[in-house]
Structure 1
Amino acid sequence: MKILLAGLVAGMLVGGVQAEQMDEMWGESTVKLRAENAERGELFDEGNYAMFIHWGLYSLLANNVDGQTYYGIGEWIMDPKMAGIPAEEYKRLAGAFDPTQFDAKAIVQLAKDAGMKYIVITAKHHDGFAMYHSKACDFNIVDSTPWKIDPMKELSTACRKAGLGFGFYYSHSQDWTFPGGRKGPEVDENGKPATFDDYFTKKCLPQVEELTTQYGPIELIWFDTPGGMEKKYVQQLVDVVRKNQPKALVSGRAGHNLGDYQTLGDMEVPHHNVKGMWESVDTTNDSWAYAWYDQNWKSPKKILRRLIACVGRGGTYMLNVGPCGKGAVPDRAARSLREAGEWIHTYPQVVYGTDASPWEHALPWGDVTVKGNRLFLSVFDWPESGKLFLPGLKTSIKSAQLLSGGESEPVAHRIANGWNIFELPPRAPEKLVSVIEVELAGAPEVDSTFGLDPNHGIEIFAEFAVVDGAEIFRDRWMEKFGEWVLVNPVGKWTTGGKAVWEIDVTVSGDYCASLTYAGEGRLVWGVDVVGGEHIQNQQNASHNYQEFPIGWLNFPTRGKYKIAVSCLEGNIETAKLKAIRLTPLN
């Protein structure tokens, strides 16, 4: 049901050598594909929300090795940039892995309570440890640990009984403990050189055969980090999945455009609508696997904001939990998931089986999803004025209802200067997100020009600009090891370069303009109402995209304007503009 709308700006460049290497490893060149029939991928395409689980031997360490804490994603703890644990030393951890608190039924119930429609779990991550009973390699949870239980059997059974889909994550290229796997030992147990073909034929291919034949119906096989893996190997794996699980999807990170859908970069929630079938993968805190120190949990409201942003951009949101070494999901993560899930169960029509927003971007107060001739306005920031402004809707409104649990009440609305204005009560009916259901006279048609909201103002990201004498590119970096941040700024400025946006103003007057940017030293920025007022100001630069005020701008009448931003002086070659914000002066 996803509406195929405009994708991200074409031709963006990835910022930084490290980010380029990560893109290659992730296999992000994947074409945006759709499932070939209605059955394969239906749950993915209609459910829109799933649980990811990162759990393995690394969870036992919890980012602490020999008394030292390593900050970053725990499943990479073996990496030289983290603790650099040798393969044989790491394999000995299995003898201490006894996750007696693991409860498959409880985890599946948590996913159901959260409103998630399927679960994908790490059957084998880069460390090579199989979290199931594999006959292809004895480095697995049954043969190598005192626990002697196959949790994948229990999870797959519990998912089927609960009516949830089930799938596996499988690291098909990287294997750090098996000879021949990428970044793995270069010699086998006999001291002979090992090749990737050795790893693939002895371990990888047999394990994918096991996973697709021994655990019942599979919704999805989530391959990851293909890197330099040859196409012939990926094709064999895809063929196995097709043969054994014809209704299962293959993730885009399989590589070589052989997946069924696109996976965006880790923790990336797009601002534009994205074409085709795609997912965003995110985590409930900063790490994927359990890290003892990481208590930076997403609140229920933040989970809903990111979920609805993904659905509103036309995609699916898969949100990760990292059980501890004993197998339990952290309480605070579970609490946030359940509270967000209560809202989802109250308003399922907002999330499931819906189409992307015809505005193709978020609105200042929240976001929009669509089902047929109905719009669902998810209002995160309730207007204190009692008026909610909806710009650019061309299709006439038949009715509007403010939803509150199972109840609804009519909402009065009027049109002024091409904007719909809804009259709302002074207080939001919902603590997290309030919903207005709008029934239209036909399919929604909109003018997606950014509307300058009289209550909230507006923030417009640089990636939406038309640029001249500058470039839009991808700037990605890690805050901590593996914790990725992505910005699509305007940079590579030349003298006279401009970034220009069109906005629609419904209330004339003065607004405060501020810019979010990064750079070096002091930079002078100019902001223009094209054909009108010019302001400029010098502010210190930030290395991490800080917001700086520039000054007041005046829009003398209602109507459409073009706003232009230029970097005028200073180290303009370092300047990277993330966004412009216009704020009303009330």
Structure 2
Amino acid sequence: MMNVRNLFLVRVTQCMVALIVAGAVTASSAQEMDELWGSRVVKMRADNAERGQLFDEGNYAMFIHWGLYSQLGNRVNGKTYYGIGEWIMNRRMANIPVDQYKELAGTFNPVNFDAKEIVQLAKDAGMKYIVITSKHHDGFAMYHSKACDFNIVDSTPWKTDPMKELSAACQEAGLGFGFYYSHNQDWSFPGGGGGPRVNADGTPATFDDYFVNKCLPQVEEITTEYGPIEIVWFDTPGKMPKEYVEKLVEVVHKNQPGALVSGRAGHNLGDYQTLGDMEVPLSNVDGMWESVDTTNDSWAYAWYDEYWKSPQEILRRLVACVGRGGTYMLNIGPRGDGAVPERAARSLREAGEWIRRYPQVVYGTDASPWQHSLPWGDVVSKGNQLFLTVMEWPTSGELYLPGLKSTVGSAQLLSGDERTPLEHETRNGWTVIKVPARAPEKLASVIEVNLNGQPDVDPSFAVDPNLGVEIHAEFASVANASKSEKRWMEKFGEWKGTVHVHDWKAEGRASFEVEVLEPGDYNVSLSYAGEGRLVWGVTIEDGEHIQNQQNSSHNYQEFPIGWMNFPEPGKYTLNVSCLEGNLDSASLKTIRIEPIH
């Protein structure tokens, strides 16, 4: 298949050239940009996109977790269970017996579900496709399944198939549509992962009973009865044997040749990589991949969970994923009545307004040549262009681009359709862009940089003269210590994670290379966890050494170590060591270097 990203960029370039020749790219109207990045780029619409193009070029999607569990909202018999709502039935949460859980269907009547409203919300948010739970681990089918009567049409007073309505609404609006399907776990069907071990007739249940009688027929149903599918999003394969996954993937590709299979199918049989829940990578990731995240903490609706991501936080995480080379799929959890929580919808729409003003930052982009975020925000690239998304606007009047070896032809501050030329200069190898004292945008401002050639960047971390820099342990080289990923849950199913340096030995160190533009004193802090009081030291290789004792924390509190002097511009190696205390517990997450103002 032809490289769809290259094809897209060629066609967009042709459109831009044609508009420039016609004198039209004076940004005379927002409608022109909407046409350029929306309906005029026909391959970005679901109804005639190539396989995987909405995923690879659209970069932003809506995930929906909605099911029988949504009407409980994490409250059972008056008790609230804190954690992800779709697991409420599980023994590690409310431990609801199968028969009792099935009785809930008799009162499930989501009369406020409106497929067109949800699709319009996705469009308003700037999303290019929707993926919704057709069956989660509880086994309840949110569509009219013939393979099992435990479904929303046969078991509820509503008697409606919302997936028919949602699929039709997506097709009408030009959005892609896809299904989540829990292929291994099924807590209500005999033989399913975590399900009953005995069939209705009293015989022992096997996984084959579940796979043959429910799983495989349901995957046939969702891939044949709901129109064109963009993605089938399998989840939690566990110990499911490879031959079963191969069969499911074969069914998807046979029935939906244009569909992708998620990386969580298992056995490396997915069409792309799916990262961990709520994981936004810190460094660029090769190939096609997605990050899945949620608008608050729980995937499915939880009555108490009002910790919503702000519009700026949504944009920060979206642009970070696009800047690392991937796709961001952001979840909503409708209530049991089918309505979307108002605060989630408001944040999505406000972020979507920004995307409509700056579509070139999100759609059809390439990853940042820096390979990581910068202290003030992030970067995406398109050919010889860089788009700088500035979250922390510099009040000094100067924005710093470290390590850029390519020469800059021009820089322009974008404000919707308006463009303001910006002066720029090179200073000790850094590109310095002169900017106004006030940011033109509330959420994030955008600067377009046109290079004289392809981007050529030294991706080393640099100490921004305005903001300093925070460097994660993921980017350290270690000696006499270990570096690995660490994940934990602060509430059930709500994952946190980091790469940390640990297992400190004598003369152990984590080394960070940094570039300094302005010499002088800087404050150095470390974020770490551990037990009791720990002594940490930071040393400039062949230079100054500082150390300090602070009480540790379990959740990576940041502690100051002291001031450190960088005597001249250039590159430095900083070595961080845990010197005293319970070294076995010491876990380093980040180092922060801040200018002293």
TM-score, normalised to structure 2, is 0.92
Residue 549 of structure 2 corresponds to 538
Counterpart amino acid of 1:293? Answer: Y
Q: Distance in 1 between matches of 2:243 and 2:517?
A: 57
Q: Which residue of structure 2 lines up, in the alignment, with residue 475 of structure 1?
A: 486
Which of 76, 83, 96 is the matching residue for 1:85? Answer: 96
The reply to whether residue 369 of structure 1 matches residue 367 of structure 2 is no
The equivalences for 1:503-514 within 5 A come to 503-514=514-525
Name 2:564's counterpart in structure 1: 553
| C-alpha contact (below 8 Å) 1:2/1:315 kept by paired residues | no
State the alpha-carbon separation in 2 of the partners of residues 407 and 2 from structure 1.
27
Q: Give 2:523's aligned amino acid.
A: C
- Give unmatched runs, 5+ long, in structure 2: 7-48
Partner of 1:400: 411
Match of 1:209 among 220, 240, 260: 220
CA distance in structure 1 between the aligned counterparts of 2:230 and 2:489, rounded to whole angstroms: 31
1:309 is matched with 320
RMSD: 0.9
Q: What's the counterpart of residue 290 of structure 1?
A: 301
1:140 aligns with 2:154: no
Give 1:240-251 correspondences, 5 Å limit. 240-251=251-262
- Quote the offset at 1:140 in angstroms: 0.3
Aligned residue for 1:73? Answer: 84
Alignment of 1:179 with 2:190, yes or no, is yes
Equivalent of 1:419 in 413, 418, 430: 430
- The answer on whether the counterparts of 1:2 and 1:276 sit within 8 Å (CA) in structure 2 is no
Corresponding position: 1:382 with 2:393: yes
Q: Where does residue 323 of structure 1 map in the other structure?
A: 334
- Partners of 1:432 and 1:472 lie apart in 2 by 35
How many angstroms apart in 2 are the aligned matches of 1:234 and 1:253?
A: 10
Separation (CA, whole Å) in 1 of partners of 2:163 and 2:123:
18
Question: 1:164 deviation in Å?
Answer: 0.3
Matching of residue 118 in structure 1 with residue 129 in structure 2: yes
Question: For the Cα contact (< 8 Å) 1:2–1:356, is it kept in 2?
Answer: no
Specify every segment of 5 or more residues in structure 1 that has no aligned partner in the other structure, as ranges: 4-37
| Percent identical | 72
- State the SS of the aligned residue for 1:354: coil
- How big is the shift at 1:39? 2.5
Change (3 A) 1:2 1:361: farther
2:284 is paired with a residue whose SS is: coil
What TM-score, normalized by structure 1, do the two folds share? 0.94
AA aligned opposite 1:299: S
- State the Cα deviation string for residues 502-537 of structure 1 (Å, max 9, x = none): 111000000000000000110000001111100000
1:26 corresponds in structure 2 to none
CA distance in 2, matches of 1:123, 1:537: 54
1:523 has 2:534 as partner = yes
Are 1:150 and 2:165 matched, yes or no? no
Structure 1 equivalent of residue 177 of structure 2: 166
SS at the partner of 1:238? helix
SS of the equivalent of 1:46 reads helix
Q: Which runs of 4+ in 1 moved over 2 A?
A: none
Cα displacement (A) at 1:2: 7.4
Select the residue among 31, 49, 56 that pairs with 1:45. 56
**Structure 2 partner of 1:102:** 113
The structure, 1 or 2, with the larger RCO (C-alpha pairs under 8 Å, 6+ apart) is 1
Letter in 1 for 2:116: K
Q: Note if 1:430 corresponds to 2:445.
A: no
Letter in 2 for 1:239: E
Take 1:87 and 1:127, find their aligned partners in 2: how far apart are those partners? 9
1:267 and 2:278 correspond: yes
Secondary structure, counterpart of 2:412 in structure 1: strand
Structure 2 distance, partners of 1:342, 1:466, is 41
Alignment of 1:339 with 2:350, yes or no, is yes
Structure 1 residues 439-484: Cα deviation after superposition (integer angstroms, max 9, x where no partner)? 1111101001111100000000011001111111111000100000
SS at match of 1:119: strand
Of stretches 106-115 and 40-49 in structure 1, the one that deviates more from structure 2 is 40-49
Residue among 558, 576, 580 paired with 2:587? 576
After superposition, the C-alpha distances for 1:292-345 in whole angstroms (9 at most, x for unaligned) are 000000000000000000000111000000000000000000000000000001
Counterparts of 2:80 and 2:5 in 1: how far apart (Å)?
43
2:499 is matched by which residue type in structure 1?
N
Q: Distance in 1 between matches of 2:202 and 2:383?
A: 64
Find the aligned partners of 1:2 and 1:580 in 2 and give their Cα distance. 36
2:268 maps to what in 1? Answer: 257
Equivalenced residues, count: 552
Is the 1:2–1:277 Cα contact (8 Å) retained in structure 2?
A: no
Correspondence for 1:452:
463
**What residue is the counterpart of 1:199 in the other structure?**
210
Deviations 1:212-244 (A, max 9, x none): 000000000000000000001000000000100
Give the corresponding residue for 1:20.
Answer: none
Tell me how far apart the structure 2 counterparts of residues 503 and 123 of structure 1 sit (CA, whole Å). Answer: 48
Q: SS at 2:568's partner residue?
A: coil
CA distance in 2, matches of 1:534, 1:395: 35
Say if 1:525 and 1:569, in contact at 8 Å, map to a contact too: yes
2:453 equivalent to 1:442: yes
| Structure-2 separation of matches of 1:126 and 1:461 | 35
Counterpart AA for 1:353: G
Find the residue that maps to 2:491 and give its secondary structure: coil
